[in-house]
């Protein structure tokens, strides 16, 4: 497996990034650090710039200013697939899977991110590569088990409920053994029990899978209960960054949410 050992300080370091869409400044001045194996919640009203931030991190967008370092590397010099290979995986706000493929095949797509030899070995089925193929299958099984998807592994994604599809997306992100997963509103559309189970999964991603989680979420209870750090955005700027309790009590954060409700 082509994972690199990372021994530095902050795993992710975002400095003064800005993004413009025509006349709109989607991000103006966003800075924060995330330590390895921690959960960082990213909150903010609709339009605050959360998804744009994710799109910068996964290199779908290029910021107009600022810098991003991930695992010690200057991220903005890399392409999207190189960011994935470095150990950053993501899910999308709107589920993005292959509906006609099985759950297992959708999850195995995630292996492509950091196992070049393994991916081609799967395709070519060379005898010398079988051992690696077996290891990748075991890794896929472990992720399917973690997300209670073994029972539906051979079902096509198109046949599954929305919450199950969201677990498949998370499995696909996790199977590459990332150093960080970016999750864009994973609790949206989930019921109370499903959110509880998601919270337990997020904590296990940190403790068992040894990955950091960057969690964009409107579900405040979830964010406040599982995050080690919360970053609050409003109008494209960082308005608070700290422990969940401190951010929840921050006057600018309260004003941003009250303003949102009043609007
Ligand atoms: N591709 C785009 N083209 C133009 N404007 C965009 C685009 N993506 C986002 N925006 C604008 O940037 C701002 C931030 O959006 P977004 O990052 O989606 O916010 P959030 O995810 O916090 O709701 C909004 O004003 C939105 O309309
Ligand atoms: Mg969004």
d(CA 40, CA 18): 20
Q: Does the CB atom of residue 46 touch ligand 1 within 6 A?
A: yes
d(CA 228, CA 247): 11
Strands 12-21 and 65-70: antiparallel
Residue 118 has pLDDT above 60, yes or no: no
Give the pLDDT score at 2.
Answer: 37
Task: Decide: 212 and 12 in contact? Cβ < 8 Å.
Answer: yes
Whose atoms come closest to the Cα of 43: which ligand?
Answer: 1
In tens, the pLDDT along 183-229 reads 999 999 999 999 999 999 999 999 999 999 999 999 999 999 999 99
Give the pLDDT score at 7.
Answer: 55
User: Which has more pLDDT, 93 or 225?
Assistant: 225
Neighbours of 107 (CB within 10 A): 28
* Best probe residue, ligand 1, of 17, 27, 45, 47 (max atoms within 8 Å of C-beta): 47
Residue 260 has pLDDT above 60, yes or no: no
d(CA 179, CA 209): 9
Give the pLDDT score at 81.
Answer: 84
Spell out the alpha helix ranges (H) of 61-176. 80-86, 103-109, 116-124, 130-146, 162-174
Q: Does the CB atom of residue 52 touch ligand 1 within 6 A?
A: yes
Could you tell me the pLDDT band of residue 92, with boundaries at 50, 70 and 90?
A: confident
* Best probe residue, ligand 1, of 24, 25, 46, 58 (max atoms within 8 Å of C-beta): 24
Residue 93 has pLDDT above 80, yes or no: no
Return the half-sphere exposure (C-beta side, CA atoms, 13 A cut-off) of residue 4. 15
- Strand (E) or helix (H) holding 199: helix 192-207
User: Which has more pLDDT, 184 or 113?
Assistant: 184
Residues contacting residue 62 through CB under 8 Å, at least 6 positions apart: 56, 76
* Best probe residue, ligand 1, of 18, 48, 49 (max atoms within 8 Å of C-beta): 49
Whose atoms come closest to the Cα of 50: which ligand?
Answer: 1
All structural domains of the chain, each given as residue ranges with its CATH number in brackets, are 8-87+178-263 (3.40.50.300), 92-177 (3.40.50.300)
Whose atoms come closest to the Cα of 26: which ligand?
Answer: 1
Give the pLDDT score at 252.
Answer: 95
pTM for the whole structure: 0.88
Burial class (CB in 10 A: 0-12, 13-18, 19+), 260: middle
């Amino acid at each position: 497996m082509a994972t690199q050992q990372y021994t530095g300080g902050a795993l992710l370091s975002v400095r003064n990034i800005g993004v413009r869409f025509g006349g709109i400044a989607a991000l103006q001045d966003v800075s924060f650090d995330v330590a390895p194996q921690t959960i960082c919640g990213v909150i903010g009203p609709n339009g605050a710039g959360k998804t744009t931030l994710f799109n910068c991190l996964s290199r779908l967008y290029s910021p107009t200013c600022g810098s991003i370092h991930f695992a010690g590397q200057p991220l903005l010099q890399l392409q999207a697939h190189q960011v994935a290979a470095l150990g950053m995986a993501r899910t999308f706000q709107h589920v993005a899977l292959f509906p006609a493929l099985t759950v297992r095949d959708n999850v195995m797509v995630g292996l492509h991110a950091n196992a070049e030899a393994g991916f081609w070995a799967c395709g070519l089925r060379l005898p010398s590569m079988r051992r690696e193929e077996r290891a990748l299958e075991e890794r896929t099984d472990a992720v399917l088990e973690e997300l209670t998807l073994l029972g539906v592994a051979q079902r096509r994604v198109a046949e599954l409920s929305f919450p199950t599809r969201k677990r498949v997306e998370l499995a696909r992100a996790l199977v590459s053994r990332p150093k960080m997963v970016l999750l864009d509103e994973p609790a949206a559309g989930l019921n109370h029990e499903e959110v509880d189970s998601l919270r337990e999964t997020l904590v296990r991603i940190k403790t068992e899978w040894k990955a950091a989680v960057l969690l964009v979420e409107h579900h405040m209870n979830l964010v406040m209960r599982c995050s080690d750090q919360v970053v609050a955005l409003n109008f494209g700027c960082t308005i608070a960054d700290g422990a969940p309790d401190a951010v929840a009590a921050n006057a600018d954060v309260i004003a941003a949410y009250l303003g949102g409700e009043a609007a």
